[in-house]
Chains A and B, each alone.
Chain A
Amino acid sequence: MRNFATLTRMRVRLAFRNKMFFFFVLVMPFAFFFLYAGVFAKSVPRTVGFYLGPLLAFNVMGSFWGLSATLVMFREQGILRRFHVAPVTASDMLASSIVANYVLTLPIVLVELLLARFLFHVPSLGNPISLFLLVSVGLISFGSLGLVIASITNTMQETQVLNQLLWLPLIFLSGATFPLAYLPRFVQRFGLFLPATYLVNGLQQTIVNSASPWSRYVEIISLACWALLTFFMSAQLFRWEPESKIPRRAKLLVAATAIPFLVLGVWENRSDRILEEARSAFVSLNAPASHGGSASH
């Protein structure tokens, strides 16, 4: 436990000294924030509110970029080996990455929420407990995904290719960039197999409809299970040495991380609940009566 705490503090400290960190964790999210709020939503409070969930999801999911890149760099440069001859365990290393990322990203999310509320006058930020739970399970699960990616790629180049391959569907087919209801039906159906869709929808419903944690239990529990599973897999697949081989069972283990959302996707495709929710949020946004801001109601 003590190793984990000191490693976490070290990771946070190193992040603040890293220019890349400033760009990806501070500059990029706020650039996107102003792009969504100012340009997509044209500063209309209710529209900003509609886009706020997808935007937060976007930032939360981005965790896997930084975590995978750092871990691969640590392995390639032989930094992990140095920790390996000391009494440091793989879980110390992995858990400290996740927690450091959590501690660093949470304030950004908070600042975005405050900007939305006070600069763009979003009428309501919804249920704070649901928000907190969804952002937390999102950060832990997508962070762990980054750690798995680091373990199943050998070089930084491979890591970035895989990151890109995962990132594009996650942001374009989940409602994080284009509203889900706006996408063709078959894309919406495909989106139900992606963890991103549940994070986007959960956050959007929380903000737009002030959804309680109980009403968002599907999203919260499915992402929490996925977080546990991916973290467990990242510990199984962890490699200290740059030249150590990816274990043969890796493919199997990685396939296993897709199971929760394959099952949930089949289930949700039959019920249409999530697609309905996304549609009604989108429709109410465009309903003529709703224009002009709702703060005065």
Chain B
Amino acid sequence: MASSVLQVENLTKRYGDVEALRGVSFAVEEGEVFGLLGPNGAGKTTTVEILEGLRTPDAGRASVCGLDPQRDAEALKHEIGASLQATSLPDKMRVSEALWLFASFYKRRRNPEELLKRFGLEEKRNSFYGQLSGGQKQRLALAMALVNDPRVLFFDEPTAGLDPQVRREIYDVIEELRRDKRTVLLTTHYIEEAERLCDRVAIVDYGKVIALGTPRELKARSANTTRIEVRLAKPASSGILQKLDGVVDAREVDGSHVLHCQRPPQAIVALVKHLEAEGNELVSLEIATPSLEDVFIEVTGRRLRD
């Protein structure tokens, strides 16, 4: 454990009355893409910004490449690359200028021209930052994060607010980094992003890590159950649905009933019989294999979508 590139132990942080972090712990190994998955306000960004040296925790310990992000902030900044949330560049700065400027800040650096090419920004090299589309800005942010050839990369919600096609472009970039065996800490509130990109995922909610493992391990928790999501014409009590044959767990989430079932056929038959007896009707029924979303629902009783 001592050799972990990133180590976080019991971090706490409060902003006024809000407890943003309530004891977050995890470790990330060299060459791993590690995801912090959770809804907005779960404490993902606070955790990442503590590791980047931008914020000070109230208590707990953090170490990045063996450095303390607060005490060794200067040395740390040469080792990390980051794409932040809620950031920008001056509107009238050109793409290539931004890369060259930031490259000039570091002792170790990569050729900005090579990065322009790799991130498909060659055509935009002379464009002003203010003229770029959201996707182009994000690609530039990722290119800038790599400009010092960092040991650890932090990507805070790299695809938030981007349309699906652009999001896929960003995924390609991150998958390439994963093949390069870069150490990446990624935050996201998109399930598919965590499942697709991360070697391991920590699910974060209300300032705590509530589950941690590889996406496969996490899903295995619900592997022997199938999720059936139904909408009903009339309200029904989850307590009663839970007692149906074959149903392990039932919850009401956003107006639908989510049933976790061990024997789906029996459960469906039991459900239909029950509804008939109650004079209720099925509006829709969906059967899904478990995803990280189910893990989240299981642990928190809520959906991840905000």
Contact = CB atoms under 8 A, between A and B. Distances in A.
Interface of A: 2-3, 6-7, 10, 13-14, 17-18, 74, 77-79, 81-82, 84-88, 240-242
Contacts of B88: 77-79, 82
B87 A81 contact: yes
A277 B102 CA distance: 51
Interface stretch (B89-97, B159-167, B223-231, B265-273): B89-97
Interface residues of B, number: 24
B74 A78 contact: no
Nearest to A3: B105
B52 A79 contact: no
| Residue of B52, B54, B105, B128 contacting most chain A CB atoms (<10 Å) | B105
A82 B54 contact: no
Interface stretch (B76-84, B172-180, B202-210, B233-241): B76-84
User: Interface of chain B, helix or strand or loop or mixed?
Assistant: loop
29 contacts: A2-B104, A6-B101, A6-B105, A7-B101, A10-B93, A10-B101, A14-B92, A17-B92, A78-B86, A79-B87, A79-B90, A81-B84, A81-B86, A82-B84, A82-B89, A82-B144, A85-B52, A85-B53, A85-B77, A85-B80, A85-B82, A85-B84, A86-B77, A86-B105, A86-B106, A87-B74, A87-B105, A88-B105, A242-B86
A79 B87 CA distance: 6
Contact of A84 (B54, B89, B104, B128): B54
B104 A6 contact: yes
Interface in B90-125: 90, 92-93, 97, 101-102, 104-106
A3 B106 CA distance: 9
A74 B93 CA distance: 13
**CB-CB nearest 6 A-B residue pairs:** A78-B87, A17-B92, A87-B77, A85-B82, A86-B105, A82-B87
A174 B128 CA distance: 42
Nearest to B73: A87
Given A85-B53, A85-B82, A87-B105, 20 more contacts: A3-B104, A6-B101, A13-B97, A14-B90, A17-B128, A77-B88, A78-B86, A78-B87, A79-B88, A79-B89, A79-B90, A81-B87, A82-B87, A84-B54, A85-B84, A86-B77, A87-B78, A88-B105, A240-B54, A241-B54
